[in-house]
Amino acid sequence: MKQIALLFFLQVVLLCSPVYSQNKQLENLKEELERAGSESEKSRILVRMSKVSLDRAEALEFAKRSTESAETPIEKGSAYNQVAWSYKNLFQYDSARFYADRAMSFANQSGDALSISDVFSTLGSIYNNQSKYDSAIYYHKLALSKRRETDDLGAQAASMNNLSLVYQRLAQYAEAVSYIDQSINIYEGLGGGRQAADSYLNKGNLLLNKGSLDEAYLSFQNALKVYEGLGLNTMMTYALINMGTTSVQLNNYDNAYRAYKRSYDILLEGDRNPMLLSYAYNGLGTMYDEHFLKFDSAIYYFKNGAENAELANNGYLLSISHNNLGTLYRKVNDLDSAMFFHESAIQLKTEIQDLSGLSSALINRGNTYLEQKKYTLAEKDFLESLAIAEDINEMGDRERAYGVLYEYSKLRNRFKDALAYLEKRDVVKDSIITTEHLNKVADLNLQYETDKKEKQIELQDVQLSAQESKLQRNQILILALIAVAILLVVVVLLVRNQSRKKQILIVKEGELKLREAEINAVINSQEKERNRFARDLHDGFGQLISVLKLNLSQLNEITNRDMEKREEVFKNGESVINEMFTELRNICFDLMPQTLVKRGLMSALREFGDRINQTQKVNCEVLVFDNNERLTSIMEISLFRITQEWVNNILKYAGATNITIQLTRETSELTLTIEDNGIGFNTQEFYEGKGNGWKNIQTRLNQIDGQFDLDSRAGIKSTMLTVNVGIDVVPTATESEMEEALD
């Protein structure tokens, strides 16, 4: 919870207040203000001073002074819009909307599209901060529409950035990715630079929330390279802090610590920006708390983070530091200190209207009440957290609130309530999974439509080329002196072209037949998998549901006074639900193991072997190289499915008692070996068989360009399968970053 809050705030700051070289800029602007010759010029300079000031109260003062010097409707619209923006940064949203309305009246008087769009953009940001996402999207789209009426591509890209952030908070990742990619394309078309790097940073946050950790890290790294090339040390710290946070989620704690430490060192050597120092201190505190387990050091860093948040007058960041301190003091059993910081965090989040953060802070305080055995107060906090999460409809907050209420109800022996909260938590969790799946489908559809349009353009180009070629031939034929020679040349060319087309057609027909065989194998495998899936659901889930129904029906036969029997029914029901959950996990593992998706091939093979060993019928030994580097997704999935297909064949037909799965890696080659002591067979019959096993394996091998070898003989107990795959030696993004650190 610490890292998520920190990351999202970094996104918002990026779009709202650029922070490099502010002190120098502000001094230069003050000198310009003294030399200003007109009131209009003073107003424009004061607006710029408000934008670069790090002190939010000072920024508001500059903005209000600009309204006094503004003369034209455009100048007044700009000045009042900056006042609205400054109030938004101070979390005073009613005042922000009031001044935004005044700004809009002057912008409409001017009729200037950019001035009107700027006010729309401010209103969108105000509603986004208040978690009113529909209104935020409405105003940001109005801003984008107005900016498209002008030639200001940079302003259009900024609106796309803002829309991407809102869609990200709604977990609508397809729309978010579309807008951020459009923004990056515009900035790169304008020469790249600072704005492109900002968009890469925001895209990294988007990918991180989406769960694409490797892609997120690469995007943050791209931003870091641009900032470093431009000499923007302060902006480098943004990228480094986000790289550290991503590394934590990738379980690469050494890399995370280096990133946080480097950002901390840059800030100490530079202008000591208190807001960014607070981020760095919180990141280091998290490392010492959760990884190094040095709680005294963690408290030191979190307290320094809080002090710098106060210097920056940043209530949001201060609430994060106090929330972290409260959780940490509870961990070391200093409950009085924990309660002090919980109270402070709740008060701060209430003042700045951070409803999602308030829901989290209430859960933390409720857990501390539990440690103090103040059950009534704990339950009150948990219920209030749930009410807030349901009100803002934030799925992650709702899942956490239902989870703690489930655990609390079990602790208090209120099993009926516990069961109800458990069901609600699982419904929310399933909804999140479904949303992620729909977003993936939307991404694939978008990619398909893009490829389709590109092919249509290529076809049109070919058709235009053919038409031009025909016109040229007609012109040549008009020339009578060389008509015969040209005719002969054309005939020869046509004959050769026809022959070449026939050869190409023969090759394509062969490829189509091979592809058809592969598709049939895939379809047959899918049908078999569907039948097995349906059978597992019917035999496993059907029986468990019947048992659960039978247990619950006993409640009608038990009187309210017989509480021991009712409690026994609840416990039996919970046991059945646990069995249902285990059955569901097994089915999900067969469909697509989450270990393979999240942790890679090596971990998935180990888990696969453990599941076989749990049957206590066959001993399965898994030997894999110890390397955290991930392979490509297609290679990991293909090798895992080949292993799964072959081991299933062993279990069905070989009668083996021992299976050994070995995965080794050389510099540029990966070798998968599966050996068993079961009955051997004629390998030629396997290759020429009508079953789908070999076809499925062959399809997977074609996807990764793998080499297959099978050693088995009929009548001899021992069979060994070997798959060799070539792998690239180009370092991954993580390896490149580590090499730079070593240099």
Q: What is the pLDDT of residues 218-231, one digit of tens each?
A: 999 999 999 898 88
**Quick one: pLDDT at residue 55?**
83
**Quick one: pLDDT at residue 742?**
30
Alpha-carbon torsion (97, 102, 108, 110), positive or negative: negative
Is the confidence at residue 513, as pLDDT, over 80? no
**457 or 149, which is more confident:** 149
Q: What is the mean pLDDT of residues 410-436?
A: 81
Pairing of strands 669-679, 707-712: unpaired
Amino acid sitting at position 717: K
**Quick one: pLDDT at residue 441?**
42
| Contacts for 80 with CB less than 8 Å, ≥ 6 apart | 67, 99, 100, 102, 103, 106
**716 or 581, which is more confident:** 716
Q: What is the pLDDT of residues 96-132, one digit of tens each?
A: 999 999 999 999 999 999 999 999 999 999 999 888 9
Q: Are 361 and 323 spatial neighbours (Cβ–Cβ below 8 Å)?
A: yes
Angle between helices 233-249 and 253-269 (to 10 degrees): 160
Q: What is the pLDDT of residues 22-65, one digit of tens each?
A: 567 888 888 888 898 899 999 999 999 998 887 888 999 999 99
Angle between helices 153-169 and 173-189 (to 10 degrees): 160
Q: What is the pLDDT of residues 573-625, one digit of tens each?
A: 677 676 666 666 556 555 667 778 888 888 888 988 998 898 888 999 999 87
**Quick one: pLDDT at residue 602?**
87
Write the secondary structure of 521-565 as one string of H (helix), E (strand) and C (coil). Answer: HHHHHHHHHHHHHHHHHHHHHHHHHHHHHHHHHHHHHCCCCCHHH
**Quick one: pLDDT at residue 577?**
76
Where on the phi/psi map is residue 488: left (φ > 0), alpha (ψ -120 to 50), or beta? alpha
**Please, which residues bridge with residue 621 across strands?**
660
Give CA–CA dist 163/128, Å, rounded: 10
Give CA–CA dist 129/89, Å, rounded: 9
Q: Are 235 and 202 spatial neighbours (Cβ–Cβ below 8 Å)?
A: no
Q: With bands split at pLDDT 50, 70 and 90, how would you rate the model's confidence at 455?
A: low
List own/partner pairs for 667-670 with CB under 8 A and 24 or more apart. Answer: 667/729, 668/726, 668/727, 668/728, 668/729, 669/724, 669/725, 669/726, 669/727, 670/631, 670/635, 670/639, 670/724, 670/725, 670/726, 670/727
Q: Torsions phi, psi of 474, nearest 5?
A: -60, -40
Q: Are 639 and 601 spatial neighbours (Cβ–Cβ below 8 Å)?
A: yes
Q: Are 167 and 179 spatial neighbours (Cβ–Cβ below 8 Å)?
A: yes
**Structure-block tokens of residue 162:** 């803002």
Q: What is the pLDDT of residues 139-184, one digit of tens each?
A: 999 999 999 998 889 899 999 999 998 998 887 888 998 999 999 8
Where on the phi/psi map is residue 720: left (φ > 0), alpha (ψ -120 to 50), or beta? beta
**Structure-block tokens of residue 446:** 């978008």
Q: Are 362 and 384 spatial neighbours (Cβ–Cβ below 8 Å)?
A: yes
Amino acid sitting at position 441: V
Give CA–CA dist 355/623, Å, rounded: 49
**473 or 177, which is more confident:** 177
Q: What is the mean pLDDT of residues 5-14?
A: 38
Q: What is the pLDDT of residues 307-327, one digit of tens each?
A: 999 988 888 889 999 999 999
Is the confidence at residue 137, as pLDDT, over 80? yes
Domains and CATH numbers, the chain: 29-127 (1.25.40.10), 595-735 (3.30.565.10)
Alpha-carbon torsion (283, 284, 285, 287), positive or negative: positive
Q: With bands split at pLDDT 50, 70 and 90, how would you rate the model's confidence at 549?
A: low
**3 or 629, which is more confident:** 629
What is the distance, to the nearest Å, from the Cα of residue 281 to the centroid of all Cα atoms in its chain?
24
Give CA–CA dist 395/309, Å, rounded: 29
Q: With bands split at pLDDT 50, 70 and 90, how would you rate the model's confidence at 10?
A: very low
